[in-house]
A and B are shown apart, each in its own frame.
Chain A
Amino acid sequence: MMSPSTDKPALNSTVTAPPLNHPALLDHEDQCAFDLPLDGPEAKRPERLGVKADNRSQVFDSRKIRPHAEPTARLCQGRVNDESCSSAWLRRLGTESKQVGKSCVLIWLLLCLAPVTQVAGDDLAELIDTSCIHCHDEDTETRLDFSTLKREFANGQAYRKWVHVFDRVDRGEMPPRGEAQPDASVREKAIEHLKKQLHEASLKTQNEFGRVPSRRLSRIEYENTLHDLLGIGGDLARHLPSENESGSFDVIAQKQEMSSVHIRSLLKTADLALDEAIQLGYKPNMNPRKLDYYNSKYFQMWVDRPVRNGGGTVFKTDTDIVTFRGANYVLRSDHNGFRPQVAGKYKITIKAAAHQPTSSITVSLKRQNDKQGQSELFAAWDLTGSDYRELSTIKYLRPDDFFYVSADELDPAPDGKVIYNSQPAEKFKGEGVKFRSVIIEGPLETSWPPQRTHQLLSGIKWKFNEKNILGRAYQPQLIDDRVKHAKTIVKSFAEKTWHRKVSEVELEQLLRLSESGLNAKKDFVAAVRIPLRAMLVSPELLFLKGRPGQLEEVDLARRLSYFLWRSIPDAELLKLAKTNQFSKPDILTQQVDRMLADPKHKRFINDFLGQWLGLDKIDSTSPDTFLYPEYDDVLRNAMLGETREFFNHLIQENLSAVNLVDADFTFLNRRLAEHYKIDGVEGETMRKVALPRGSVRGGILSHASIHKLTANGTVTTPVKRGNFVLTNLLGLPPNPPPPTIGSIEPDTRGATTIRETLEKHKDVETCALCHRSIDPPGFAMECFDPVGTFRKRYRNSKEVKRERTPGLRFLHKDYTLGLEVDPSGQTPDGFNFQGIRDYKKHLAKSKEQIARNLVSQLIAFSTGAEVQFADREVVEEILEATKKKGYPVRSLIHSIVASRIFRNR
């Protein structure tokens, strides 16, 4: 190792670090030299292998790696470094930096002033000399070369490298097993020294520049903000570009995107939102009214039509209509006499009973939209016995929406016949649903024009005018000067939107937007609408920001509110901020409790779990309808409900984070309980259920939602599930596989099991190094199929008929049972488990790491930046303080909010 080899390819010998202080490297994105993030869990996640496959990059090729006790350790390490140190600048070399400017000069100057620590003789030197340098010298084929890596902790690139050095040594991964190990004291001394240096460097940057750059609202937050500001509802996020798939939360400032596509969609979304807020059309019928299927000609048409023409699946009794189908075009509200005239909240009440029930039946309400093909499950209820149930729900509907009632979970007739071969419908003996009535109330407004219109266009009286000028039935009655009116409206909305007083100058600028409309005595509403729209796309609304150091209270109120409500702060939070009450710790605690008691906290639960656990992606694969006929939207919603209610319960009852892995309770409704084969749960409402002794359920690893989203289409793969446990639950993501390794080709014919396929992970040491950690959790979870059913044998699709019987489930379980599932395995620390129960018990011992990961995730989600080196100290303090009680989740949230990480920019 002492003599440099001469035949080494050039591309491997050079690039270990970019030229320091190169101006092109110091601007743009997260690569600003003083931007030191990416050192939390995020940085441990290796990304982008060999970012540029050209000669600028060192492409790892195992053949070129020097003989070593554990070649793959070096391979993987190389990749870690690759991302953290090289990909960023390589990426940047590819993109022309347009903004090398003033700030760059400043940074460059600062860099020159940065102190350079002594290379030799410090507490690090001994460790490096004795244990590191013989592999990581100028001849290294890894990305780490201690002979050129300077102790410049204020330099972003060097800093990131040192953080990795710290982590690898601290976790005992370096020097690798099989190499001479350093003296404990030498190691300790070096670690302490490095920790101190890195902490100080990180803290200094935080103090000077703030921990987090301004972040923009995510599309969901923007939607919530519009809802709360304007008193509207509905799906607005779909008009905005989807968020960057960067592998972390969409609120992480470093990863957020902005382009003219965003700006134009924001303009459009704001416009649509204002359209819904300003309702000046004819007063709609708001009285309760019947959706009269019984007397509808459209419905009658389907009653009369023969089955071959799509009819014959419905009939009428003396009082009811009866349907034998699920998704049913026959029952769409618009063709049967109802479509919402205006956007707003509607209450829909149905009275229905099971028809010829032999088991539980689900009656549901689904929304469909002219422009969006897919229907959305609004609500689903259980029907049992023959009693009628009156069921209602309140939903936001738009004029382009319609809904339909539907019957789900229907069993065929006792003789095995289905509605299509058992005509007429009256004589059919299978399960159905009979509807007595469907009543619609709404829009649920207390006045017309609605309250939200009055509030937005404050101070204006409205007069009904038959003539319907400009598409409006109500015209403004201006008692004052038009400009004065406009000013009142704009001022009040500006203060509400920006949470501050607005100066006369600003008001003037805003009103200038209305000028031509106001002066020319044109349409007042259209004129005054322009500045409102401008405020809705203004940077002050779109960005969460603040000065470095301690946040001003109003910025703290916004951060808090966007954390737990995903939207603007309410009057109480703002009032407290304006009187500087948040400096009192108990006020902050009280407010967090108040916010968690408000229904708006559900947005936090949904958004946080949606991204942290990936629940948002539950629909990214669809289970095979023949192999898994039990899966439908009703079950899907119950699956999501379980995980959300469970996590919410941990917060509300302040229960230990270890419940995430193993709990003796869960949340179920009848449908999900049947799916889990747990008796005694009735009705559609999710509720807490104590699990029977010896149950495989309990903890999120046993939630069907997690099984669904970690399944690969129609099969399960232990690799994906193991990766979920390591990455999402423990926050210790494994390295991605080498680029040449493909995924396993699914085979559902039943000749081999996935476990047999994965055997080769054991045999090849390169694979084994990572897979001895990745595979075991996945093996334990093999007892759950892609839709979360507990299984002992695999389902095979071999030679199934694949014939459809629409609307009827459980008729043909169109699969055969195949080989047995083997859920046993051995964890890397040598623990042998027989199945999921053993495994969960073992995993629960890692409760500190589980809590650490949860705290880190919550910090990232609430502040918009991953955990940085200086934050580690805070995370450990929080863990220490909550350890005794087993890391109760609400306490974790309280501690985070009280910490300097949250209170400082």
Chain B
Amino acid sequence: MHRPISRRTALKASGIAVALPLLESMNPAFGREFDPPKRMVMICNALGFHPPSLFPQTTGLDYENTEYLNLIKKHRRDFTLFSGLSHPDQMGKEPHDTELTWLTAARNPGLGGFKNTVSVDQVAANYFGNATRYSSIALSSNSRKSQSYNSNGVMLPAFDRPSNIFARLFLQEKPREQKLQRQQLAEGRSILDFVSNQRNQLDRRASSKDRRQLDEYFSAIRQAESELTESEAWLDRPKPRVEADSPKDISEAADLVGRARAILSLVPLALQTDSTRVITVVIQDHHAVPDIAGVTSGHHQLSHHGQDPAKIKQLKIIEMEILKCFGDFLSQMSQKKEADSRLLDQTSILFGSNLGNANAHDPRNLPIILAGGGYDHGRYVSFDRKRNPPLCNLFVNMLNNVGVETDSFGTSNGKLSW
């Protein structure tokens, strides 16, 4: 069982991190004498991929490259393409509510009584605990909405500004800023301390029926307190240095691809410096018209192509750009080395979507690519299109891959074998 580190341990550990030699152009957290840790990355393109352009006709090792797969063919040995996987019971209230459940598999999102459940990345994050500066990082191309949900089923806000996350991970605060941060954390903690003492005041007034609500509130207070304490501990630990410039934020919402690229380029840096071991990324913007030659309508509108060839043509332009981004990301992940292996081999990467067919908002037959992680790759695996096995079965594999000992997650009924 993994235990969160105390402030003292963190301080001790900081000495090691600083002493490591520089390898490559980076300052990785692990030298040859260490076993590099396993990581998990989940990337969602929330509007799906036009299925005919993605899925080949033949399965197995000899599948033919489709229009889309051509764009990432040089990584062919480093990924497996799945079709016919999905979460059961995803008919939600709003057609895009499956964005809420891609990583949680909670049923019927948005319908009466819906409550989200923990997302698979957070199970891994809880397992890693405070071993890294951030137990997980949620990133998004265009909004603060992530697909990461804590064990209460509450969404963890995403970072959507690359410069902001870069600063948090790699830019050492000036002593004055550090002092200010420390003050703020201390103030936050003393406030929470005060508020938790309010309980006595309240309990007298509250009925027994209240206790659930108030219990939840006070346990949230305690949790927040310990999170602030951990943040404070990390304040004393120097941040890793990277030889990369802080990325520029792209304010134009229309530059969807530029934004996705900027966000994705931070992932290898964050992983290699062991700033975190769990990252989720959402690529989506429902409203903007992506600034790509040949595209004149919004991404979301185009996803509802209604079989109009003109719209499908434009949709494919956008989706191909996103796939190219993903291809470049895989290149970066395979170029980075640690302890004689590639960073890619240490990282299970899930790339796909919560929609199998965005034109019909169909949440079945999801496009799913599993890359890296040391799996035996290179195949196209097609499951029963009528009776999809649970995507959660693959999540179980991924959890096991990073070291979480479990035989179930969400709606799983076993491990996926292929």
Q: Which residues of A contact B (CB under 8 A)?
A: 27-29, 32, 34-35, 38, 42, 45-54, 83, 87, 91, 94-95, 99, 103, 106, 209-210, 213-216, 238, 241-242, 244-248, 253, 255-265, 267, 370-371, 373-374, 506, 509-510, 512-513, 530-531, 533-534, 537-540, 542-543, 545-548, 617, 619-626, 712-715, 733, 736-737, 739, 742-749, 797-800, 802-804, 905
Contact = CB atoms under 8 A, between A and B. Distances in A.
B155 interface: yes
Given A241-B155, A624-B301, A713-B301, A263 B114 contact: no
Given A45-B113, A622-B298, 6 more contacts: A51-B107, A103-B211, A373-B252, A373-B288, A540-B201, A739-B91
B95 interface: yes
Nearest to A625: B297
Contacts of B215: 99
Contact of B310 (A50, A265, A622, A802): A802
Contacts of B152: 257-259
Interface stretch (B11-19, B128-136, B356-364, B399-407): B356-364
B62 to A, nearest CB: 31
A53 B97 CA distance: 20
Contacts of B268: none
Given A246-B113, A548-B207, A743-B360, A257 B154 contact: yes
Q: Which 10 A-B pairs have the closest CB atoms?
A: A748-B306, A247-B112, A713-B304, A373-B253, A260-B223, A263-B224, A260-B224, A259-B152, A45-B112, A745-B360
A626 B311 CA distance: 11
Nearest to A88: B113
A244 B115 contact: yes
Given A260-B224, A746-B306, A804-B296, A622 B212 contact: no
Nearest to A84: B113
13 contacts: A83-B113, A247-B110, A257-B153, A260-B224, A621-B95, A623-B301, A625-B297, A715-B304, A742-B360, A797-B306, A799-B310, A800-B308, A802-B297
A375 B217 CA distance: 35
Interface residues on B, range: 35 or more
Contact of A537 (B195, B202, B301, B304): B195
A627 to B, nearest CB: 9
A543 B194 contact: no
A263 B192 contact: yes
Nearest to B310: A802
Contact of B220 (A45, A87, A259, A510): A259
Contacts of B201: 506, 540
B190 interface: yes
A827 B310 CA distance: 39
A214 B223 contact: no
A864 to B, nearest CB: 10
B177 interface: no
A247 B300 contact: no
B243 interface: no
Contact of B207 (A94, A264, A905): A905
B304 A624 contact: yes
A743 B95 contact: yes
Contacts of B114: 47-48, 244-247
Contacts of A626: 297
**Binding site of A, secondary structure by majority: helix, strand, loop or mixed?**
loop
B317 interface: no
A545 B205 contact: yes
A42 B300 CA distance: 32
Contacts of A48: 89, 107-108, 111, 113-114
A261 B148 CA distance: 12
A446 B413 CA distance: 67
Interface in B8-52: none
Nearest to B183: A526
Interface string B187-211: 1101110110111011001111111
Nearest to A42: B112
A547 B308 contact: no
B77 interface: no
Contact of B360 (A46, A99, A746): A746
Contacts of B298: 622, 625
B246 to A, nearest CB: 17
B156 A261 contact: yes
Interface in B254-300: 286-288, 296-298, 300
B216 interface: yes
Contact of B198 (A49, A54, A259, A539): A539
A267 B221 CA distance: 11
A727 to B, nearest CB: 10
A617 B287 contact: no
Nearest to B408: A54
Contacts of B211: 103
A87 B210 contact: no
A827 B387 CA distance: 35
A261 B157 contact: yes
B411 interface: yes
Contacts of B169: none
B190 to A, nearest CB: 6
A739 B94 CA distance: 15
B208 A258 contact: no
B300 A264 contact: no
B297 A246 contact: no
B216 A540 contact: no
A262 to B, nearest CB: 6
Contact of B188 (A95, A210, A267, A798): A267
A808 B207 CA distance: 61
Interface string B112-129: 111111000000000000
Interface in B85-111: 88-89, 91, 93-97, 100, 107-111
A264 to B, nearest CB: 5
A739 B89 contact: yes
Contacts of B144: 238
B156 to A, nearest CB: 6
Contacts of A905: 207
A209 B111 contact: no
A246 B213 contact: no
B96 to A, nearest CB: 7
A714 B191 CA distance: 50
Interface in B289-329: 296-298, 300-301, 303-304, 306-308, 310-311, 314
Contacts of B221: 260, 263
B251 interface: yes
Given A42-B112, A736-B111, A539 B214 contact: yes
A161 to B, nearest CB: 16
Nearest to A751: B307
B92 to A, nearest CB: 8
B307 A748 contact: yes
Contacts of B210: 213-214, 545
- The winner among B201, B209, B217 for most chain A CB atoms within 10 A is B209
Contacts of A736: 91, 108, 111
A45 B107 contact: no
A803 B296 contact: yes
A241 B153 CA distance: 11
B97 A267 contact: no
Contacts of B93: 245, 247
A547 B212 CA distance: 15
A648 to B, nearest CB: 26
